A and B are shown apart, each in its own frame.
Chain A
């Protein structure tokens, strides 16, 4: 069964550093998303992406965040200057329409 894959599974970084989280969505899906989950809390929407542009973003997705589809398969989330409060599990997801399939996540720890 096709899966959304994410790399790395864990990322440790120093505050102020830039990180790039990578995702390979399911190949025939057209919509891509990033969500995050702070430990013990609910999953929060960050951004959705369709047709090579952002279709929606939440208040969390401020200027330090950006997304890109650099080629036909990868979808990336860049955090420019990480803060302690960016520590969370970041999930990528993709869908044909509404049914979202999530990747296994990248655990980001900002020290």
Chain B
């Protein structure tokens, strides 16, 4: 089955700094790569996603880059703000499946004011 690894498990940055979280996966058939943000006690929310035919996608302060050859994709947050503090999960879709997202173990991001 799909093996998903996320690094780092915790990340602490100063407000205004950038944060990068990396996700590696094993299933070469995976073709959809989302990132979810989960605030404490709340639901996971999709913040950005990318498909396998695209290398990079940006949405304001958030970007995702994909390296299909190396089987990893990364979340980039620039100009971090305290409200970015949350747990971030990568969840590549298991190749060929519908909605069987395999979540990573999460990265707890803390943004210090």
Contacts and interface: CB of A to CB of B under 8 A. Distances in A.
Contacts of A102: 43-45
A42 to B, nearest CB: 5
A101 B101 CA distance: 12
B99 A104 contact: no
A85 interface: no
Interface residues of A, number: 24
Interface in B1-60: 32, 34, 36, 38, 42-46, 49
B102 interface: yes
Interface of A: 31, 33, 35, 41-45, 48, 50, 55-56, 58, 91, 93, 95, 98-105
Given A42-B104, A45-B101, A45-B103, 8 more contacts: A42-B89, A43-B89, A43-B103, A48-B99, A55-B98, A56-B99, A99-B34, A102-B44
B43 A42 contact: no
B98 A50 contact: yes
B43 A103 contact: yes
A91 B98 contact: no
Contacts of A101: 46
A92 B93 CA distance: 17
Contact of A95 (B45, B99, B102): B99
Nearest to A50: B98
A35 B91 CA distance: 12
A100 to B, nearest CB: 6
A54 to B, nearest CB: 11
